[in-house]
Amino acid sequence: MNTLLDRFLSYVRIDTTSDATSTTVPSTAKQLNLSKQLKAELEDIGAHDVKLTETGYVLASIPATAGKEKAPTVCFFAHVDTSPAYSGTNVQPIVHKNYQGNIIQLPNDPNQILDPNDPMQPTLQSAIGKDLITSSGDTLLGADNKAGVAIIMTMADQLLSGSSLEHGPIRICFTPDEEIGRGVDHVSLEEIGADLAYTIDGSALGELNWETFSADGAKITIEGVSTHPGTAQKYGMVNAIQVAARLVSALPVEWLSPETTNTYDGFVHPYLMQGTSAKMEIQFILRDHDNDKLAAQGQMLQALCDAFQAAHPTARIALEITKQYRNMGYWLRDKKKIVDLMQQATEAAGVTPSIVPVRGGTDGSRLTEKGLPTPNIFTGGHNFHGPLEWVTVQDMEKSVETVLQLAALWGNETSVD
């Protein structure tokens, strides 16, 4: 029989890195290798309505137990892709059974060291005495979000194999391309047919999230005046590189950068600058939990552009802002039951819940905005998107228990509100 650990180890070995530069759906065909396996596994454990859609979503149902058919339908989401930020090719997971807090040097890259006494890795202490899973050092592990996939699959298996737990109708959705911000681009809420949902894509044991950032992208384009450098003074060269460098230096780094902010403070983060003395492009992400403060970030960039334009009237400086996603808290603060029940379920699983605002987004940010309220539940994973990523079997088990308790709690309800 497949255990939670077997499932997790089998999923992480499948390369599912997504690719932001690709225009195909899903962005990489290799994600389907896992999606196809999940479809077969769902059929195997007896899930209903199992389907792999043309756009790469795996859907399934678990019917309500007798008498619970009228309860709200809950959907559980996890994503199959891993972040393009680090290699996900040939992942070789290592299980450190009953981890004793020793320093671990990962075998395929001796520079990758897990040390519970390192002040930069404070959470590793919580893994002592548990079965710790790491990568071998030259890839990420992929607990983000294959831990979530394994947790949902194990929950489904338990509910479908004669568990006495009573619950309402349940839907399952495994999405592609979450890491490149396209996870819900092709979701049909009608086809999912749920009243509410949870992503199982969070981090530390007990951590629950119902607030995320609101997010915009910004692009500043600077067209300079290009002349031969030998006659630049005569013909009024404006070097776009010089203007771009000064514009970036004028940003208030001390209080508005990712590296200088925490908790509820937002940031303006330039992440790409490219071009020539004739034309430069600067790409930013803008982030804040508050929509008005997010808008103020855009206004600040506009004021900077205006000032530089005034100083260089022959150049052309343009700002373009693109909406990305909005803080799910704007909708969820009125959906108390959805948040309360996930806290109660966590407690029922013997775990102390802690509500943490996400300094980023989840698939739930856009699902919630689209009309499907979707907060986020812990998987137990840590150090996502890098070679030091880890998770423990015991923390994943607690997430399975939380999700089962949540299914039971919703089975007693007749409405979402």
- Per the DSSP assignment, residues forming a β-bridge with 74 are 170, 196
Taking CB under 5 A as the rule, does residue 145 contact Zn ion? yes
Q: Are 358 and 211 in contact (CB under 8 A)?
A: yes
Closer residue to Zn ion (CB): 140 or 301: 140
Region from 115-123, 126-134, 197-205, 209-217 binding Zn ion, contact rule CB under 5 A: 197-205
**Residues with a known catalytic role:** 81, 178
Region from 199-207, 225-233, 273-281, 309-317 binding Zn ion, contact rule CB under 5 A: 199-207
Cα angle: 14, vertex 207, 259; to 5 degrees: 85
Closer residue to Zn ion (CB): 46 or 360: 360
CA-wise closest residue to 76 among 416, 334, 407: 407
State the angle between helix axes of 31-44 and 4-12 in degrees (0 to 180), rounded to the nearest 10: 160
Taking CB under 5 A as the rule, does residue 374 contact Zn ion? no
Taking CB under 5 A as the rule, does residue 199 contact Zn ion? no
What is the gyration radius of the CA atoms in the chain, in angstroms?
24
Residues 6+ apart with CB under 8 A from 8: 93, 133, 143, 146, 147, 150, 391, 393, 396
| Pairing state between β 48-52 and 132-134 | unpaired
Closer residue to Zn ion (CB): 14 or 71: 14
- Per the DSSP assignment, residues forming a β-bridge with 133 are 95, 391
Closer residue to Zn ion (CB): 144 or 288: 144
Taking CB under 5 A as the rule, does residue 144 contact Zn ion? yes
Q: Are 124 and 114 in contact (CB under 8 A)?
A: yes
Q: Considering the complex, what minimum distance in angstroms separates the CB of residue 79 from Zn ion?
A: 6
Give dist(CA 79, CA 363) in Å, integer.
9
> How far separated are the first and last CA of the chain, in Å rounded?
39
The residue whose two tokens read 């950068």 is: 257
Q: Give the x/- contact pattern for Zn ion in 97-136, rule: CB under 5 A.
A: ----------------------------------------
Closer residue to Zn ion (CB): 145 or 209: 145
Give dist(CA 382, CA 394) in Å, integer.
14
Q: Considering the complex, what minimum distance in angstroms separates the CB of residue 81 from Zn ion?
A: 9
What are the backbone dihedrals phi and psi of residue 307, each rounded to the nearest 5 degrees, phi first?
A: -65, -40
Taking CB under 5 A as the rule, does residue 175 contact Zn ion? no
Q: Give the x/- contact pattern for Zn ion in 279-308, rule: CB under 5 A.
A: ------------------------------
Q: Considering the complex, what minimum distance in angstroms separates the CB of residue 383 from Zn ion?
A: 13
Region from 28-36, 85-93, 140-148, 209-217 binding Zn ion, contact rule CB under 5 A: 140-148
Q: Give the x/- contact pattern for Zn ion in 232-271, rule: CB under 5 A.
A: ----------------------------------------
Q: Are 112 and 62 in contact (CB under 8 A)?
A: no
Q: What are the angstrom distances between the C-alpha of 334 and each of 72, 305, 361, 416?
A: 17, 38, 19, 11
E strands in 342-413: 354-355, 376-378, 390-392
Q: Considering the complex, what minimum distance in angstroms separates the CB of residue 67 from Zn ion?
A: 36
Closer residue to Zn ion (CB): 209 or 277: 209
Closer residue to Zn ion (CB): 144 or 216: 144
Taking CB under 5 A as the rule, does residue 397 contact Zn ion? no
Q: Considering the complex, what minimum distance in angstroms separates the CB of residue 231 from Zn ion?
A: 54
Report which secondary-structure segment, H or E, holds 221.
Answer: strand 214-223
Query: Which amino acid type is present at position 335?
Result: K
Q: Considering the complex, what minimum distance in angstroms separates the CB of residue 144 from Zn ion?
A: 4
Give the interface size with Zn ion as a residue count (CB under 5 A).
Answer: 3
Give dist(CA 120, CA 116) in Å, integer.
9
Region from 87-95, 99-107, 142-150, 189-197 binding Zn ion, contact rule CB under 5 A: 142-150
Closer residue to Zn ion (CB): 134 or 145: 145
Q: Considering the complex, what minimum distance in angstroms separates the CB of residue 376 from Zn ion?
A: 9
Taking CB under 5 A as the rule, does residue 201 contact Zn ion? yes
Under the rule (CB under 5 A), what is the footprint of Zn ion? 144-145, 201
